[in-house]
Chains A and B, each alone.
Chain A
Amino acid sequence: MSEKAVNKNLPIVSKRLGLPDAYKLETYLATGGYDGLKKALQMNPEDVSNEVMKASLLGRGGAGFPAGRKWSMLKANPVKYLVINGDESEPATFKDHDLIELDPHQIIEGVVIASYALGVNQAFIFCRGEFALGLERLQSALNEAYDYGAVGSDIFGSGFSVDLVVHPGAGAYICGEETALLQSLEGKRGYPRIKPPYFPAVMGLYNQPTVVNNIETVSNLPWIIQNGGDAFAAMGQDSSAGSRIFALSGHVKKPGNYEVEMGKVTFRDIIFDPEYGGGILDDLELKAFIPGGVSAPWFGPELLDLPLTQEAIASKGSMLGSGSIVVFNESTCPVRAAWRISKFFYRESCGQCTPCREGSGWIEKIMHRIETGSGRMEDIELVLDVCDNIAPGLTWPPKQTTICVLGPSIPSSIVSAVNMFKQDFVDHIEKGKCTFGK
């Protein structure tokens, strides 16, 4: 490993994930649980917000918006809400899944700290419906937290009260989009709302000002309050402060969630280091990798030495996104990989906007016929043309023609596959079959 990322502070959010019974209050308290909240309640709410602002904590959901700034935008109002986004559905992302099942108290503590800072008395944790065990663990942790006095009225005798509801999703990728999530929480179809208003901080749940934060984002708060925002900001690089969980999957020997200090580790480290991915499955060559969820453009092996920061990845035309890295070894058919990703978007498009609804279907169809050997040579141009209709110019970041960013995310993988592996497309079409034998 080039520069060993040994930081005595790490791990921060994932420190309890290996402990047995970490989801129980007893274990949580034995490992410093709820100390951050107790400390926060001794402070002024504004000072709590300031620490988070100083920490330069970027949202961990995918967009990477600074959490402190998001909080400062919350409009003053008699009724305000905090909603935690735990609808983790971006393919190959599984960090929140672990945090929910294995350390639910850390989430609850973070939510109460955030509620205190924001002056919110009603918060919701939106948990992906498929996480049945996660829903059970979150709710029993919440019951324990109420009994312990960490949630509910007059928390630890501070006079501050907040109620928390664990809300189940019901299976829809689009509900990870914050306005769709709010619609779903209101008991409706998960249709993203038309913008403006751009931010739920102005008009959110039940049309009241609402902050929406990701599970991992709030899981960082207990540590930030305990150790100070400066200590958090001292870690990392450029605007990517602190540490972050990267979900590594696909063709690596050891897929899993790895928390690393931002900017101190490269893709090469995380994929090959025995401490993390441990190298490519079956010791084959690396073909390509997706740096930040399936909405992100792909990278080739020549970019392995990029550090894991928002800026470094953006400078090469992709994104850190949800922090999930998918590794393709040389046996991977890039046409099939891109087709499968387009099929996902086709299935998950909510159907409100024409470019996304129609475009995703056509892209899936064209990609499928190329992959299965029925493609025509003009299909390569055609599929790019459909992509161009969804995100004109095929630039990065993509131009938007739709209400939300799902649509403009569709072209990334297709454009990457065509640009990086055009010969494979040509071979599929000429030979009339998948040249990788799939």
Chain B
Amino acid sequence: MGHLSEEVLNKARILLEVYPNKRSALIPLCHLAQGQDGYLTPEAIIEIAELVDVTPAEVRGTASFYDMFHLEPVGKHVVAMCTNIACMLRGADELLEHAQEVLDVGIGGTTQDGQFTLEEAECLAGCNNAPCVQVNHRFFGPLDNDGFDELISDLKSGKLKDIVPEHGVLNRVERQHGLKATPDQIQAERDVMESAKKERLAKKSTS
């Protein structure tokens, strides 16, 4: 213990309380850890595993299924460019090519100064603003080449730092109300589930 900050741990405690089952907090906790470090560090994975009571391998194995989790360091800004059908029809492939030239980096790569990681994304549900781009999961679009260049220079100059946080989609999410159920009620609910599970297993072994 000791890698995740006090702030993250406080949010983690609330999350662990609002779900009937601790493991449900696994993905939100990964988001929080990624918000702190930019990617899922091995230390964070170990701590998350302890918090939700599974093995670190299970945390890593779960996280690796999802596109949003990075298991290796990424740049300060992750630029995810959609090239799916609606954006493709509006010139996304050409824009992605332009982005590779401007940033001098391939798809999946990070610029040498550590400022930008370029990703090719699947549909981001921003098709009314195609071609659309997300920077640390904040939307921009429709963008042409000039618009993209402007976006990059604004990100470099820090002009967008209020709109585009460093990382993590839950950093600005504050749950002010925990589960209103008392710990006893939660325990009772867990007991019901536990006994139902035993019943099922018993049924299975007799049949």
Contact = CB atoms under 8 A, between A and B. Distances in A.
B193 A89 contact: no
Nearest to A257: B128
A89 B86 contact: no
B62 A92 contact: no
A344 B200 CA distance: 39
Contact of B66 (A92, A170, A185, A186): A170
Interface in A79-134: 79, 88-94, 96-97, 122, 128-133
Contacts of B115: none
B68 A129 contact: yes
A187 B23 contact: yes
A147 B174 CA distance: 14
Nearest to B84: A91
Interface string B128-162: 11100010111100000000000000000000000
A130 B126 CA distance: 11
A188 B62 contact: yes
Interface in A155-189: 161, 163, 165-173, 184-189
Nearest to A341: B85
Nearest to B165: A132
A337 B84 CA distance: 9
Interface of B: 18-21, 23-28, 30-31, 52, 54, 61-63, 65-69, 83-86, 88-90, 93, 122-130, 134, 136-139, 169-170, 172-177, 179-181, 189, 192-193, 196-197, 200
Contacts of A247: 127-128
A140 B67 CA distance: 26
B57 to A, nearest CB: 13
Interface of A: 78-79, 88-94, 96-97, 122, 128-133, 135-136, 139-140, 142-143, 146-147, 152-153, 161, 163, 165-173, 184-190, 206-208, 247, 249-251, 255-257, 290, 294, 324, 326-328, 332, 336-337, 340-341, 344, 347-348, 350, 438
A135 B24 contact: no
Contacts of B20: 122, 206
25 contacts: A91-B86, A91-B122, A94-B126, A94-B127, A122-B20, A129-B31, A129-B169, A130-B134, A142-B175, A161-B180, A166-B175, A167-B24, A167-B27, A170-B68, A171-B67, A185-B24, A186-B23, A186-B24, A187-B52, A188-B62, A208-B193, A247-B127, A256-B128, A340-B83, A344-B122
A207 B176 contact: no
Contact of B126 (A97, A169, A171, A327): A97
A130 B81 CA distance: 12
Given A249-B127, A255-B127, A133 B139 contact: yes
Given A170-B63, A188-B26, A207-B200, 7 more contacts: A92-B86, A140-B174, A168-B27, A186-B21, A250-B90, A328-B89, A340-B83
A202 to B, nearest CB: 13
A418 B181 CA distance: 57
A287 B177 CA distance: 52
Contacts of B83: 340
Given A133-B138, A187-B62, A255 B123 contact: no
Contacts of B175: 139, 142-143, 166
A24 to B, nearest CB: 15
Contacts of A207: 193, 196-197, 200
Contacts of B52: 187
Contacts of A97: 125-126
A341 B96 CA distance: 17
A78 to B, nearest CB: 6
A136 B192 contact: no
Contacts of B85: 91-92, 250, 290, 294, 326, 337, 340-341, 344
Contacts of B21: 186-187, 206
A239 B167 CA distance: 45
A143 B27 contact: no
A208 B197 CA distance: 10
Nearest to A94: B125
Contacts of B189: 79
